[in-house]
C-alpha cells in the first residue's frame, strides 16, 4: 500500500492504492498549514502505507522552480515526520492540468472541482508510480533522505 500526495499552496491531495498496488483512488484533501503533516502521518498509519510518493512539479526543462522547491521542502519535512516510512519524490509535470481537464470533461465544475482536483492529481501521481513498477519492476523518483536522528511516528 502506498499513498500519493499532490502538494498545493492551499490544499494537499492524498490518494491511496489497493493492497496489490494496481489501482490508485482518491482518499482525502488536507488543508495546507498547521496539522497537515500530522494528518498525512495519520493516514499513512491508518492505511498501513509502506511508502508515500510526493509529486514534484518540475519545469518543462526539468529545472526546479518555486513550486518544485516548495514541494521538496514539504517532502523533506514529511520524510522526517514519517521516518522510517520512506518518502519518494516523482516528476509530476501536468498532473494538475490533466486532473482539471478530466474533471471538467466529467462535468465537475466550480467550487466542487477545486475541492477535488488535488485528490485527482494525487491519483494520477500514484497511478503513474504503480504503472511504472508493474512495467519495469523499479520505482521511479528519488527517496528523500532523512537525518540519522529522525524518529518513527508514534
**26-57, pLDDT tens digit by residue?**
999 999 999 999 999 999 999 999 999 999 98
Instruction: Give the mean pLDDT of 121-148.
Output: 88
Q: What is the pLDDT of residue 154?
A: 46
0.85 surpassed by pTM: no
The CA distance from 40 to 22, in Å, is 21
Q: Work out the pLDDT band at 152, boundaries 50, 70, 90.
A: very low
Pairwise CA distance, residues 74 & 77, whole Å: 5
pLDDT at 153 over 60: no
Q: Cα separations (Å) of 28 from 56, 118, 122?
A: 19, 9, 10
Checking if the pLDDT of 61 tops 50, the result is yes
Domains of the chain by range and CATH?
2-142 (3.30.420.140)
Amino acid at each position: 500500500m502506498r499513498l500519493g500526495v499532490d502538494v498545493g499552496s492551499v490544499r494537499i491531495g492524498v490518494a491511496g492504492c489497493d493492497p496489490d498496488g494496481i489501482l490508485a483512488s482518491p482518499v482525502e484533501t488536507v488543508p495546507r498549514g498547521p496539522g497537515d503533516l500530522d494528518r498525512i502521518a495519520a493516514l499513512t498509519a491508518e492505511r498501513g502505507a509502506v511508502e508515500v510518493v510526493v509529486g514534484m512539479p518540475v519545469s518543462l526543462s526539468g529545472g526546479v522552480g518555486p513550486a518544485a522547491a516548495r514541494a521538496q521542502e514539504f517532502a523533506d519535512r514529511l520524510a522526517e515526520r514519517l521516518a522510517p516510512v520512506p518518502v519518494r519524490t516523482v516528476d509530476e509535470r501536468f498532473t494538475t492540468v490533466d486532473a482539471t481537464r478530466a474533471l471538467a470533461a466529467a462535468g465537475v465544475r466550480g467550487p466542487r472541482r477545486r475541492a477535488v482536483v488535488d485528490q485527482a492529481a494525487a491519483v494520477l501521481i500514484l497511478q503513474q508510480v504503480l504503472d511504472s513498477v508493474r512495467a519495469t519492476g523499479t520505482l521511479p523518483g528519488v527517496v528523500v533522505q532523512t537525518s540519522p536522528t529522525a524518529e518513527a511516528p508514534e
